[in-house]
Structures are given as structure tokens and as C-alpha cells.
A and B are shown apart, each in its own frame.
Chain A
Amino acid sequence: MNALRSFRSILNPDQLAEVLAAPPDELDQDRPKSLPASQPLDDSLAGSIDGDGVRAALEDAAQIASGVDRSDPKQRAPVDARVVELIHGPLEALTHQAASDPGFWTWLACGPGRAFTWMRWSDRDPVPADSAAVDAALNAKGSQVAKRFRMRSSSLNGVSRHALARLWWLGDSLDGDYDAAAKMLANQDVFQAVYEREIGLAPGLSRTLIEVFSLGENLIDGKTFRAQIMRPIRQLASVTRIEALAPDELRALVKSVRVERLGDV
């Protein structure tokens, strides 16, 4: 009779707290809640991911992030376009189910991706030495980087704020086309305007926007893009099932919005 040994306890306070409270419990464990504590990254993901490759890529990303003037947010932002392949590529085989687990991304940012996440989003030194130091730094009054480490939910907003998840899902949505991803990231406001809304999930929309607006080549003001392009497209989507449009029809729709709102061709 092994039932007692395998008993997982019926709702003791610690377990109740674990359910009700997200991080920092996860930070304490330094792992995603759904994965056993002792398993290395590659084993945890059913052998489909090269854990060493992920760690090495995250270290490379941290190197890139450390090579800019971190005191200037405008210097830090372009780092994303340079590292999106490093974040998505080694984790390309990640299933959507795993990628929708906030605990996974929290763990990755606080663990293997700690240095990158810190250098990309904080102008302070030094990089926290371990997850406990991350925890302390994030809990410090006035911390602005907590949401870059901790993902509260897998909502569009939650993902688009997280240092690593936002880049992974972007790479995934573009089927690993990192040139296109870099163009979308050329203006962070444009990226947010597309990927923080459900309409941004429509197949082909982000590629069409990149093409029609020559994103990455022509700089478009983020506020203008949000108000004059994405808002009308969302309005159109209330009557037009964008996900059902063929690529040429979608292109025509986006172009019509551009012409109507910006007055150019």
C-alpha cells in the first residue's frame, strides 16, 4: 500500500498559498511550478530542447545587452531586435502549452536569463547574483523591472511585457523569420500596438503591416501607428473577419486604412 507515501496532502496551507500566490514563490524555487525541481532544462522539456544551447544563447544575449549605454533606454531598446533569434531559436521546439505557462518564463528570466533580462531592462549594477537577489531587487521600492522578470499571466499584456516571452512569441508568430521580427521591433510602440491586441494574432497581419508600412526601414511614429492604423483595423475587425481573408485581401484592407488615415500610398 503506497497510497500514503504518494499522498500529496489535501490542501494544507502551504499548498493553498502556492496556488493563490504566484511568484515570488516561484522565484524561491527557481523553477517553473509545473516542473520538478531537480530536472535540468533539457530534460524538463522532454528532450526537445538543448538546455546548454539555451543557456549559451542567453549568455550571448546578455553580452549584447551589456554592450550598449544602459543608462539610455533608447540604447537598450534596439537590443531586442539583435537578440530575438537568440531567445527564440534555441527554444523553437517549445510547445505552445509550455510557452503559455507564466511560471516557465518567470523561471527562465530569473534563472538562466537573469543577466540578459537585467541588462536589457535595468540601468543599475550589478546584475543580481541569484534568484534570491533578483527577488530582493524586484521587491525594492520603485522597482520598474519586476514585470520583465515575473509573468503574472499568459495574457497578451503579460507576455508583451516580459523580457523573454515577448521575443519568443514574436519569433514564433513569424515562423522564425528573424529579419521580419527585427523590423517589427524597430519601434517598440509599433510592436506593442500589434502584439498587445487580439487582432495581432490574425494570421499574416504582422507580416502585412511590415510590408505595407516598410517597418524597420521607414520610421513611423508609434502613437500615430496605434491611433491611426491599429485602432481602425480593430474597428474593421468587428465586422470583417480578418482571419478569413486571403493574403491579398488582407493587404488591400491594410493599404486602404493607410490611404484613408495617412493619405499616402
Chain B
Amino acid sequence: MASANEAAAAFCYPHAGPAIRARWIDRSSDTSEAVKWIDGEGELDKTSSASSVVLAIEVELTLDIGALDGVLAAGEKLKESVEMLVLLAGPAARRRESVLLLPDPNDDSGARFTGSWQLERSRLAGNIVFTPSLVRTDRGPDAALAAYPGEELADSLDSLTLKVTESKNEVAGDIDIRWIEFPKDRPADVGNAWVIEAASNSDPPKLFLDSSIKDFHVTLHNQTKGSSALHKRRDLLLATIASEVYTSLANSTLSNLSADVGDDESGLSIGDDDWRRRLLDDVANRLFPDCGIEEAFDNLLQAHADDPVELSAKIARAAQLRSGLRKALAGVVALSDGG
């Protein structure tokens, strides 16, 4: 067993470095509604209505055998006392475990490994990181090399992060809210405080808030109640953001919708449970309160076709009323008067 003192300096023996390439595959039969795979990261909405209770993940690993020169003992074979593992680490789900991968039976080089496993959705939370790792499993012959069980010989840069998110739909309408640092994560938006992004489909819009603005996050997370100055400033910020987001999304949705209409008379490719439909229904109801919802919706589309600029101005006014911007503004103005 390596001593604690020896191990204090990480890898006090030759280590092959990131010599493992990985390809992750989602084999779940019915998770297409639940898991989104983006740039090697899977995002799982734990409140999704997708029926699957189990995620099936498969991985294909390729090991750079040449990188093991000087890592294994002279004449030592890869299969003898070394195994390929995938380590799972998920603090929020209290998971830390390893999964053994087997050599690909169709590969003679001994460099390919495959494995698959199933994950119960009820045991997933937070971020689960899957990292390939080549690990010694039996005592090695050379004390100058990795010689003890558990010692790692090679790792990988191709880890997989499965993000288990909670749908914002239940608590925030249909907005996916994300705090990021604009200078680092969205340099093109430096100078803005928030940015709303909406795809022209049913994917939830994303509201990015710049956490690098001093006290922005703190102010919006302020939990004081009553009439404190901080509370009033927070209310004004919330009303301002809500009003702008509502206006922006309504306008972009109407524009995308009219562009999509084309020859199809019905024009609407969005379902009743689509956030865009719910948004436009809300706009229609506010602008045409005396009509039934179907008629109000038709009126809204017609108003957009007739004069989109005028309609946009009306939507902006409705958004102000809806978000209580005036009251929030009055509260802050009163503060500046010493109230």
C-alpha cells in the first residue's frame, strides 16, 4: 500500500495521462423526451413526463496502448492485473462508485473496451460525472511503478456529465433561468445585464443573468420582507426583468409564427401545451379581454399582420401592467425621497 506521505504528491509513479478516448451512447429506449445531449453533456429533466424510469448508457473506450510504456512493468500484460473502469461521482445523489468495463471481444488489439449500465432515475440528482480510468486491481511487480490496488494508470478527458435538472416549468412559468458570468461565458453580451434567448420551437426560452455584476445576484436573492430598501430594489428589478422578458418573448414568438405560416392556412404548428401557445393566449387575453380565447387569439394574429410595430407597443404596455412595474418603481422613487 502506498503510504499517505508518498501519495501526497499526486501520482508519485509514472502515469500515462489522458490516454483513454471515450464515446458515450444513450441506449435508453424512450428517453428522447427526457435527456438532451449537448457537447458530451447529457441533461435530464427529472420532472419530465417521459415514461422511462431507467437510463441506459453505453460507452466505448479506446486506450492508447503506447502511452503505457514505462507505466506497466516490463513484460507485464495489460489484462493481468489492470482493469478499465468508469468512475461515477455524484455528490448530490450521494453516489461514488465504479463500473468495470470489459475488453471488446471483437478487438484483437486489447485497446478497446465497452460497457453499459442502467441508472434508475429515482437515484439521480444533481450532476453525475462519468470518468474512464485505467486502474491496477492486483499488486504490481515493480514498486517504482503503480504497484498497489486502486492506483490509477491512465485517465481520460472525455468524461460525461449527466446533469439532472429540475424543470423550471413548475415554478417559473416556462423560463430556464441561468446565472453565468458574461465576461467569461458570453463575451459577446458583455455590457448587458440579462439576455433572453428563445428558439423558434417548443424548447423553453433561456434567461441568462450576468452574475459578474456586483450585488446583482445578491439583490435578486434577497429574502428580506416588508419595506426595506433592498426589498424594494429587488421588486423593481424583478418587475423590470419580467416585463422585458414578456415583451421580448411575445414579439419574437409572433414574428416566428408569422414567418412559419406560409401556405398553410392554419399556420399554427404549436400545440396547446407549448409555452408559445400559452404565452400568446395570455397576450391575447390581455389585449382583447372581451373576446373568447379563440377569437382573441385570431385578433392577435391579425393585429400582428396589420401593424406589428403598434402591436409591439401594446404588448409592452400590457407587460408593464402585468408585472406591477409602476408600483415597484414608486417604491424605489419614494426611497430616494427619503421615504
Interface residues of A, Cβ cutoff 8 Å to B: 1-4, 6-13, 15-25, 33-34, 95-97, 100-101, 154-156, 169, 172-173, 198-199, 201-203, 232-233, 235-236, 238-246, 249, 252-253, 256-257, 260-261
Contacts and interface: CB of A to CB of B under 8 A. Distances in A.
Nearest to A236: B7
Given A20-B177, A239-B10, A245 B242 contact: no
A3 B235 CA distance: 29
A252 B3 CA distance: 11
Nearest to A159: B94
A172 B272 CA distance: 42
A2 B293 CA distance: 9
Given A16-B241, A198-B91, A243 B98 contact: yes
B293 A241 contact: no
A23 B225 CA distance: 12
Contacts, number: 200
Contact of B235 (A13, A33, A242, A260): A13
B96 A246 contact: no
Nearest to B176: A19
A197 B153 CA distance: 24
A20 B282 contact: no
Given A34-B166, A235-B8, A242 B93 contact: no
A3 B277 contact: yes
Contacts of B8: 232, 235
8 contacts: A16-B172, A17-B238, A18-B172, A20-B238, A22-B223, A97-B164, A202-B96, A244-B87
B2 A15 contact: no
Given A201-B94, A243-B97, 9 more contacts: A8-B174, A10-B282, A13-B235, A20-B221, A96-B94, A199-B96, A240-B7, A240-B150, A260-B5
Interface string B161-196: 000101011111111010000000000000000000
B61 interface: no
Given A241-B135, A242-B150, A11 B172 contact: yes
A44 to B, nearest CB: 14
B23 interface: no
B171 A18 contact: yes
A79 B159 CA distance: 42
Q: Contact residue range for chain B? A: 35 or more
**Residue of A13, A198, A246 with highest tally of chain B CB at under 10 A:** A13
A244 B135 contact: yes
A128 B98 CA distance: 45
Contacts of B93: 96-97, 100
B2 to A, nearest CB: 7
Contacts of B293: 1, 3-4
A16 B245 CA distance: 11
A25 B239 CA distance: 18
B261 interface: no
Contacts of A101: 166
Contacts of B125: 96-97, 100, 154
A138 B81 CA distance: 56
Nearest to B225: A24
Interface in B110-133: 121-126, 133
B240 to A, nearest CB: 9
B137 interface: yes
B301 to A, nearest CB: 15
A195 to B, nearest CB: 9
Contacts of B5: 260
Interface in B222-259: 222-223, 225, 234-235, 238-239, 241-242, 245-246, 249
A15 B4 contact: no
A223 to B, nearest CB: 17
Given A95-B123, A100-B126, A245-B149, A235 B7 contact: yes
Contacts of A240: 2, 7, 148, 150-152
A9 B94 contact: no
A232 B47 CA distance: 40
A21 B223 contact: yes
A199 B245 CA distance: 43
The 3 A-B pairs of least Cβ separation, nearest first, read: A232-B4, A100-B125, A201-B96
